[in-house]
Amino acid sequence: MDALHANDIAALLDSAGVCIRSGHHCTQSLHRHYGLASPARASLGFTTTPEKLDRFAEALEGTIGFLREHS
């Protein structure tokens, strides 16, 4: 997803009811070292169900497809 910005991914997932984090996550120097703009991450916990993972995967696929088509 090199050409897609993490904030765009996060915003579209949020509109689909899926929350992730985007930004530097307090590691700006590491991102500069590796030449990364901004990552996006999903956090899993004890309450994460297989159904939630499926919903996330479907929303992420749709988001990536939409951004690639309209970018």
For the chain, domains (ranges, CATH) are: 6-70 (3.90.1150.10)
The angle that helices 50-70 and 6-15 make with each other, rounded to 10 degrees, is 120
pTM of the prediction? Answer: 0.80
Q: Which two tokens stand for residue 37?
A: 């703009």
CA-closest candidate to residue 5, choices 30, 33, 32, 39: 39
26 has catalytic annotation: yes
So what's the pLDDT on residue 1?
65
Q: What is the mean pLDDT of each run of 10 residues along the chain (71 residues)?
A: 84 94 83 84 93 96 93 80
What pLDDT is stored for residue 24 in this prediction?
78
How many whole angstroms separate alpha carbon 71 and alpha carbon 59?
Answer: 18
Catalytic residue among 2, 3, 26, 35: 26
- 56 contact partners, CB below 8 Å, separation of at least 6: 13, 18, 42
